[in-house]
Amino acid sequence: MKIVIAGGADFLGRQRARQLAQREPSARIVCFDQAVPTDAAADPRLQFIAGDIADAAAVAAVLGSDATSVFHLAAVVSGAAKADFDLGMRVNLDGTRALLDACRRLPAPPKLVFASSLAVYGGAVPPVVTDEVAPAPQSSYGTQKLIGELLVADCTRKGLIDGRSLRPPTIVVRPGKPNAAASSFASAIVREPLAGVEAVCPVALDSALWLASPQTALAGLQHAHDLPRDRWQRATCGRALNLPGITVTVGAMLDALREVGGDAARARVRVQHDERIAAVVGTWPARFDTQAAAELGFAGDADFTSIVRAYAREYGGALGSQPSPASAGEGAREASG
């Protein structure tokens, strides 16, 4: 068994790789990314390969002729895709196509789990978004992710891959340093204050977000991979699946920060409106009905305070020792937003 993780040097990709190494000790696990982490040799179970996901030859070489499962987590994040249209198109669109082209040339159709984004939604959406609401992206990032979903669905329909596209909530709290994602502040306003560092909140306290913990997101990736193909297809009709999350206002996030880190941690967050970020965040739906995901066995988090406590337990309130590393072809990624 050979498992390839595109975007495997990112926090989420590396956590996915470590879980797979424990779950499938006999599998060959290859992490493909723009750069090899400096501490890659610390885990001999994982193989790291540096390359550009938009380079079709490099991607084909990584998959070889024996890849059986692929996790596609690589992307140029929302803010970066907006700032550099060509880069977003090359990585998020051309890179996805290069990966799918390599997959369809394998001797047997591989399973492919694609991390899409809630940024596929935009414009006028109902108060609660259901699986029947049609995507209408209002950003380059969302448009590129939606095209990726459609390509995965079409390759699956043709029997070239066994694809599953997921739209996870914004993942909080992420360790490491801030990245170029518009949603980066959602982790920073918890992570930095717990480490004794001041943070800026760029949106109003009544702004609502659809969130999930890294642990829940990782479990969702595995569960999507493990579902039988016929069950996935019956439940989704080939569409991308909105994953469970919790709706939390920024004010409630800061209340949870105070509960876990005390008044001193809360005092380190300063609200300073940033129209650019607020405008992007304001287009994201914050309430979802994820009945289809629940029926397939996906689970969400209980509450945001539990998410903050879990982060504090695992990282001791310390800022991650490494910046969020590059996903294949770019300097950072996000799974949603």
**Would you kindly state where each structural domain of the chain is located, as residue ranges?**
2-168+213-242, 171-211+245-315
Find the Cα–Cα–Cα–Cα dihedral 173, 175, 176, 182, rounded to 10°.
-20
- Identity (one letter) of the amino acid at 221? L
**Strands 162-167 and 69-72, how do they pair?**
unpaired
CATH number 3.10.20.30 given to 2-168+213-242: no
Average of pLDDT values for 48-70?
Answer: 97
- pLDDT band of 317, cuts 50, 70, 90: low
**Mean pLDDT confidence for 94-112:** 97
Share of the chain above pLDDT 90, in %: 79
DSSP run (H or E) holding 253 = helix 250-267
Residue 329, pLDDT score: 36
> Mind listing the pLDDT tens digit for each residue in 278-289?
988 888 899 999
pLDDT score, position 302 = 95
At residue 187, the 3 state secondary structure works out as helix
95, two tokens: 């890179």
- Catalytically annotated residue among 121, 141, 311, 315: 141
- The sign one gets for the Cα dihedral 305, 174, 217, 273 is positive
Cis peptide leading into 269, omega within 30 of 0? no
Contacts of 220 (CB under 8 A, 6+ apart): 166, 168, 212, 243, 298
Do 2-168+213-242 and 171-211+245-315 agree at the fold level?
A: no
What integer pLDDT is reported at residue 327 of this predicted model?
Answer: 40
CATH of domain 171-211+245-315: 3.90.25.10
| Mean pLDDT of the region 207-215 | 97
Residue 320 has a pLDDT of 41
Provide the whole-model pTM: 0.90
d(CA 337, CA 119): 5
Q: What is the residue type of 11?
A: F
Q: Which residue type, as a one-letter code, is found at position 217?
A: A
Task: For residue 141, indicate whether it is catalytic.
Answer: yes
Query: pLDDT digit string (tens) for 13-33?
Result: 999 999 999 999 999 999 999
